Structure 1
């Protein structure tokens, strides 16, 4: 699909200039912010009435030329979403604190980093060998379609689904050929059934944008903007905010807000990290017997205490109930239905808090969205990219009629921002109307907005950024372990002074590990200093805190 065809499906976004000489990332972000978000009919109906007023002071900073050689407009989408988050913060400042909307400057860059001071939580050695790594990759099926196999957090079920052993001593090329040979014997529809229904693994046929849009599932979710906020009809709690603490102020606007984090990997943890950046107190709950991606903790555990609970034990379930009874927000990001058997479904959590005066906001995040025939499936960033057509369009942009994963976990981090915006929306409604709320976010909700309202770069702009980065061509079988280091080298070689500008970074101290970490500054900047985005506690490994709310919600020490 061409960029003009994509723009034909937009929700009021003006067409972008075809000439690379006149294209401006900042100017296009401003258009996208106003037309693709604030005035987008799918999104505007859920936003507070003051949003246009509170969006006026938001300004954008950045360079005119794109830096990342990916045809999708990632920088514009992330920056505009951070602009909407800033506007929602302005609404909160006005309603709760009586403060007029503030100037805010969202920047275009965000980068996850990691370091060595975190214990290994990869219980299944997912990345221990080329053979296991290649259980997550795109392969061609018997009918000529492409299928994104995904190992999730344990490659063994995906390997078993193909009749393969748990591990083999093979190099990259040998392991690729083994998977390719197996999947080339299976029709794509049958591969989908095997992955989704028999082995309960993430995996999807790689659709085009048009195929996704015209699918039963795409149509079932087409009415969703970036998220959905649902009133809980039987909730009788009066309008309220949350218990204030001495630090609650416009400077730390969510200070005192208690958030229970039942999430893993990137998208849902990015939601709770975003709340922590605004001052919220976040208790992240994991379990020793549940695998996790420890390489992400340096980036995504900022602002969070981390405790272990085993929901198979009644005493640990009661500890979570105690946390939830005091919480304002609970965020869950496990596969749909996983937490239900322990009593921690959305309705179970609402039932637990129905008799208190303060309503509860329960957030659930998944890959596919919460309507339609694929909603039960598990999935990750690469799966959403393949499902909604971004992977196919990236491959086509490089001249191949095949899907290629667009490298960076863009849909993960952008879904995280969408979740923060949705929760701010629910908090504002609870403050005005009372009651409790269910919030739905999904990787596909962001992805379908990217396809329909953001689109790809015009051909001349794409050719320019691709040429500046050496016109490297990636293939469907190049997984992220292959593409990521090559993309970072391209960025260092061709856009290093922009992407890695020292003004984007800061040294941040974590008392939990006793180290300063060089990391990305908050993306939103409030120049007058009225609002300060930072974290109450330093990043840390899983399971080092006690599963109880500390007396001092702003403390850095291990509890």
Structure 2
């Protein structure tokens, strides 16, 4: 039925484009209902589903044909419904509590890492002026300190003129560059970002996509062919992932029955849905931290762990640590491992964002944590996020947002929508799969916590970068027609977008378009869309963050952060305890 209202292959094999345009809030309502119906264990009670009200601009606010905003807004609504159920379980009186989701705000949320203000200036302006270097502690270890390192993460042509390839520097670009014959210290290539991209493209153009793929596999590096949606869906990896629901929550195995774990009594001073829930987070970059940033806005007590020897992106400290406490632990050191295990034994949720097999060597695999939960007689929620999904022969392969965008077909579709020659692929313009993968993990965690309180047991939650991409490309979701994409481009006057552009370049392009169209209505600090802290740990300056997307008519329970973001590892690990 869904395919009858679509035009096939407008943006390449395996794409499904709407015949007519539906305003974004209305279309989001449809996608929300579809997701709710497809998710095992999600309520089908119309009284609960009808609490959700979508508002926002009728027209799309991000480039391209993919309905990333509607998918994200629908998932936010699911989080709101689950949070509402948890409030009811906790005895919060339901006097017609309504759940609101603004789809335009959900679009801005996809660019959260830039949609913030420090000391009254927006983050993009601060970055352009180089002011963040003295403002934010440096954890990057020089990962983009030369043009070649910066452009090592981008999409490039191959020896097959019809196929592009996603390279990824993985915050350690020299091995990636050397694997394709590029000298990371080449002075001429490092003259500018443009010369670096041209130099890399010159090398990749002489290598087949199959050889690039095998080179990365042999060296344990990240990379992916820019598949069409049809190619991904027909692949063994795509079929493995498709066997799982997009919101993937299962009993944690090995399962030892444990009694239901009631939520702690609601604190009169904090009536947010997850107040008193303890979350231990060990993640990096965007997707994993976003899981716990959402949970912290809902009231969870989050302790974030960063391994001090691993680089991370500096600017993310401003937004993705909101409401959290932060410590540094090196699990290679026995005393640090003991601290983490001590925190874990009293946690309700463990969120980890490393490769699936990585945690076993530190006693933190799903099996290890399930055994710990069984021994203490109290269930736990184990949350993992990765690129390719929970099983299949790519499950343990490393991957990032850009890899997922290439694998699932999102980059191919975006390139086709820009009418570029030679099947040039282009990344979607924001860290969409990162942010939405984090949202998937948060929704799954809420569902697991609800089920633990009602049925007992421990639960596994898995969120996948590729999964959110493939969902948005499904025929039932649909893509925007070409004329809608064109009108959006003309409205926002987006600058040029090409395969060589880093996602941070594209993010700035989108921000500039938003500022031209919306200005004070949404993006100024005093617009009403930001939560302001008068003082932060970033040079003592004020910090304003985009408010959580979900709102409740019950203001006392509405998601918000009680504390501003902290730098990574801001507190002494040995002194941090659960409240």
TM-score of the superposition, structure 1-length normalised?
A: 0.90
Aligned partner of 1:38 in structure 2 is 36
Q: 1:460 to 1:498 in 2, by over 3 A?
A: farther
Q: Report whether the alignment pairs 1:61 with 2:62.
A: no
Q: Are 1:274 and 1:420, in contact at CA under 8 Å, matched by a contact in 2?
A: yes
Q: CA separation in 2, counterparts of 1:462 and 1:428?
A: 40
RMSD (Å) for aligned C-alpha atoms: 2.5
1:17-70 deviations in whole A, cap 9, x for unaligned?
A: 625xxx411111112211x2122x3x2x231454x4322111011011222222
**CA deviation string 1:54-94 (max 9, x = no partner):** 22111011011222222211221221111111111111122
Aligned equivalents of 2:521, 2:75: Cα separation in 1 = 21
Partner of 2:23: 24
Go from structure 1 to structure 2 and tell me whether the alpha carbon gap of 1:512 and 1:174 turns closer, same or farther (over 3 Å shift).
closer
Alpha-carbon distance in structure 2 between the residues aligned to 1:118 and 1:469: 31
Q: Aligned partners of 1:524 and 1:430: how far apart in 2?
A: 23
- CA pair 451-248 structure 1, distance change in 2 beyond 3 A: farther
In structure 1, the residue corresponding to 2:113 is in which secondary structure? coil
Helix, strand or coil at the partner of 2:448? helix
Work out which of the residue numbers 433, 438, 441 in structure 2 matches 1:416: 438
**Structure 1 residues 268-292: Cα deviation after superposition (integer angstroms, max 9, x where no partner):** 1000111100110111111221111
Contact 2:373–2:458, Cα closer than 8 Å, also in 1: no
Preserved contact between residue 241 and residue 427 of structure 1 (Cα < 8 Å): no
- Residue deviations 1:152-183 (CA, integer Å, cap 9, x gap): 12112211212333433322232122211221
Tell me if structure 2 keeps the 8 A contact 1:135–1:151.
Answer: yes
Give the secondary structure class of the aligned counterpart of 1:326.
coil
Report the Cα offset of residue 132 of structure 1. Answer: 0.9
Could you say if the C-alpha distance between residues 154 and 60 of structure 1 is closer, same or farther in structure 2, counting changes exceeding 3 Å?
same
1:456 aligns with 2:482: no
Report what 2:282 is aligned to.
262
Name 1:437's counterpart in structure 2: 459
The 1:472/1:516 distance shift into structure 2, 3 A limit, reads: closer
Is residue 199 of structure 2 the alignment partner of residue 178 of structure 1?
A: yes
Q: Which residue of 1 aligns with 2:180?
A: 162
Contact 1:67 1:495 in 2 (8 A): no
The residue number in structure 2 matching 1:214 is: 234
Tell me the residue number matched to 1:467. 490
Give CA deviations for 1:102-125 in whole Å, capped at 9, x if unaligned.
2011122213235633201012x1
Question: Aligned in 2, Cα 1:333/1:469: closer, same or farther, shift over 3 Å?
Answer: same
SS at match of 1:355: helix
CA distance in 1, matches of 2:52, 2:415: 35
Cα displacement (A) at 1:515:
3.0
1:112 alignment partner in structure 2: 113
1:5 aligns with 2:8: yes
The structure 1 residue matched to 2:88, chosen from 88, 94, 113, is: 94
Residue of structure 2 aligned with 1:542, choices 551, 568, 572: 568
Structure 2 residue aligned with 1:80: 74
Gaps of 5+ in 1: 8-13, 554-559
User: Which aligned pairs between 1:347-426 and structure 2 lie closer than 5 A?
Assistant: 347-400=367-420, 401-426=423-448
Residue from 194, 208, 223 that aligns with 1:187: 208
- Counterpart Cα distance in 1 of 2:145 and 2:262: 47
Taking a change above 3 Å as real, the CA distance of residues 491 and 471 of structure 1, as seen in their structure-2 partners, is closer
- Give matches, 1:288-299, under 5 Å: 288-299=308-319
2:247 is the counterpart of 1:227: yes
Give me the whole-angstrom Cα distance separating, in 2, the residues matched to 1:265 and 1:112.
11
Q: Distance in 1 between matches of 2:9 and 2:520?
A: 32
Q: 1:461 to 1:179 in 2, by over 3 A?
A: same
